[in-house]
Copies of this chain bind each other. A is one copy, B any other.
Amino acid sequence: MEIGRVVGTVVSTVKSSGLNSFKLLVVTPLSVAEELTAANGPSSYVAIDLVGVGEGEVVLVTKGSAARVSDPTVPTDAAIVAVVDSVQIGTQNAYSKT
């Protein structure tokens, strides 16, 4: 899974019916080191929200068929499956939700 930050939303009227009941959120990947920082390489993507997150929150995103474990009829390849409370790297606290 990948750590990311929810930065926005997508609105769509014309879409596959399997997407109807989900929020479509824009997620920016975060690099995990002594702190969480914006990742350089990969760009943002869109994930469905399975846990109820707010904008700005740090989350875990699962990709591929894992995104459809709870509902195989949703045509998504990315799903937010957790809100991150804290990330500990070695003895250092890299992130804490405030």
Q: Which residues of A contact B (CB under 8 A)?
A: 1-3, 7-16, 18-19, 24, 26, 29, 31-33, 39, 41, 43-47, 50-52, 55, 60, 62-70, 72-79, 81-90, 94
Enumerate the 8 nearest inter-chain pairs by beta-carbon distance, A residue then B residue, closest first. Answer: A15-B82, A8-B89, A69-B75, A12-B82, A32-B44, A66-B77, A14-B83, A16-B81
- Neighbouring B residues of A60 by C-beta, 8 Å: 10, 12, 15, 24, 46
Which residue in B13, B26, B66, B89 is a CB contact (below 8 Å) of A89?
A: B26
| CB proximity of A7 to chain B, nearest CB, Å | 6
Cβ B69 vs Cβ A69 within 8 A: no
Chain B residue with Cβ nearest A29: B43
